[in-house]
Amino acid sequence: MSDFIITKSNKAKREISTQKPKVLQVNTLKDLVDIIGEKIAVSKIQAQLTIDFRANIRSLLESGDINKQEFSNSDEYIQSIDFKDWKPETRIRKSKEEKAIELLSKLSPEELKIVLERTTKT
Amino acid sequence: MVIPEEIIESRSFLERADKANDIGTKLNFLQDGFDLLDSYMDDFPGQNINLINNLKETHTLSALNQLNLLQNIEMSVWLDYFLFFNGYFKFESDSRIQQDRDLEKRYIIFENFWIGVFKKVIAKSILQIKNHKE
């Protein structure tokens, strides 16, 4: 892991690389708690989980044609969802090739034929 | 002339496609409109053929004219449009592209945006299959 962290300011149009604090370099919860204490660790993690959870709700709110204010999910529908067991998803960044393979695997035989015809022609 | 209900409905989808700002939503409306026209043609072969061809041609052109919006798009949306232009609507798309050099250039820019990745993974898979056979 890099010992440096890059910070950008769009407002000032500046970018700087600085030393990365130890708290951002730990790999276990125990190490984190040792540095900042359990209370702060829990509060910081929950703050991030709140952001993740709201992002999930926001995508439900925005689904549909946002410009025409035609939304797929009503307030009633969103409020009726049971979020009690919600957990954050681990986002694994996929490579372009992995994304392409995933998309190709979902195509129908006819669609796959179209892609193959176009991509294998010389 | 009485316009059949299916064509009126498909026209409404196609008009919504024209107006939609979100490129994913736009394509969904286009496909719904074209699918309705296709199913009408299956049920009533040869009927209202000029009207149907005009609608298909107009809205394929409209989709092609929006190629500028399709630059730097996400891979899955790109693939949906790629399949639209090269799939069931290939004839309409190709004939339009061949008639207009500017459109052709814009189409090439669109196609080149992600096709390289697909070429790479497909070539790799073909090679793996060949090696496996040997």
| Closest residue to A65, CB basis, from B25, B119, B124 | B25
- Distance between CA atoms of residues A122 and B114, nearest Å: 17
| pLDDT at residue A89, rounded to an integer | 77
Question: Is B131 in CB contact (< 8 Å) with chain A?
Answer: no
B77-81 long-range CB contacts below 8 Å, 24 or more apart?
B77/B23, B77/B24, B77/B27, B78/B110, B78/B113, B78/B114, B79/A103, B79/A115, B79/B114, B80/B24, B80/B27, B81/B23, B81/B27, B81/B110
pLDDT digits (tens, 9 = 90+) for A39-87: 999 999 999 899 889 988 988 888 877 667 778 889 999 999 999 999 9
Count of beta carbons in the 10 Å neighbourhood of residue A65? 20
Question: Is B25 in CB contact (< 8 Å) with chain A?
Answer: yes
Residue with tokens 């890059």: A6
Question: Is B116 in CB contact (< 8 Å) with chain A?
Answer: no
Give ipTM to 2 decimals.
0.79
**By residue range, what is the domain housing residue A14?**
1-26
| pLDDT at residue A107, rounded to an integer | 92
Beta strand A14-19 with A4-9 is: antiparallel
Mean pLDDT of chain A: 87
Percent of residues, chain B, with pLDDT higher than 70: 99
Residue A114 included in any domain: yes
Do the Cβ atoms of B107 and B97 come closer than 8 Å?
yes
Residue A31 included in any domain: no
Together in a domain, A87 and A41: yes
* Number of structural domains in chain B: 1
Residue A32 included in any domain: no
Q: How many residues are recorded in chain B?
A: 134
